[in-house]
Every structure is written in structure tokens, then in C-alpha cells.
Amino acid sequence: MPQMAPLNWLLLFIFFTSMFMIFNVMNFYSFSYKPKEKKSEKTKINLNWKW
């Protein structure tokens, strides 16, 4: 029945849009940042001059 074709297109659009959004949300939340460990000790400069 050709009268039902717009409903089918609307359902396909909603389905693929929701799959796209779910895919993006899963990728966003599955990525975890690993913070860099900061060194508390500063580099010490030894100025031992030997003339």
C-alpha cells in the first residue's frame, strides 16, 4: 500500500538516527582518560665548577 510508505521512511529514519546516537554515546563513555603522573621532585642542578 503506497499510503503507508511515509511511515516506513519515518521509522527507518528514527531507527538509524537512534543507532547513530547510541553508537556515539557508547564511544564517548567507553574512552577513559589516563592522567599523567606529575613528578613532585624538581630537577636539581648541580653547579660543581672544577677549574
Evaluate if residue 3 carries a pLDDT over 60. yes
Domain boundaries, the chain: 1-30
Instruction: Name the nearest CA neighbour of 19 among 8, 29, 27.
Output: 27
Question: With a threshold of 0.85, does the pTM exceed it?
Answer: no
What is the number of residues in the chain? 51
Instruction: Name the nearest CA neighbour of 6 among 46, 18, 50, 14.
Output: 14
For residue 43, what pLDDT is reported?
65
For residue 24, what pLDDT is reported?
95
The CA-atom distances, in angstroms, between 51 and each of 13, 25, 45, 48 are 81, 65, 18, 10
